Amino acid sequence: MNESRRLELTLLGQTLTLKTEAAPDYVRSLGRYLEGRVETIRRSGVQDTSRAILLAALDITDELFRIREDRERQAGDVGARLGVLVSLLEKATPREVR
């Protein structure tokens, strides 16, 4: 079991102190990812930092939801394929007479 530790993270010019079980490098990579998304939004013309952060959060949330939907759809596809394979195997395998 991982132990919680404090981590200082500078994100968009603000220093945050976090309590986390995650590896520091991982948390820093999350911060860099968010900063990159905010910077992309700023380059598109949004200069207000709060608005850029909110739009980045919405964009990242959209990305998360789409990935979840894709995963659920793929899991359903795999389930359907397995069902077809089981059906084919049942047809191809002679039943045991008792």
For residue 13, give the DSSP letter: T
Residue 59 lies inside a defined structural domain of this protein: yes
Residue 42 lies inside a defined structural domain of this protein: yes
Q: How far apart are the first and last CA of the chain?
A: 52
User: 47-55 — which CB contacts under 8 Å span 24+ positions?
Assistant: 49/12, 53/12
Residue 97 lies inside a defined structural domain of this protein: no
Residue 69 lies inside a defined structural domain of this protein: yes
The 10s digit of each residue's pLDDT in 30-80 is 999 999 999 999 999 999 999 999 999 999 999 999 999 988 887 777 777
Residue range(s) defining the domain that contains residue 14:
5-92
For residue 87, give the DSSP letter: H
pTM: 0.70
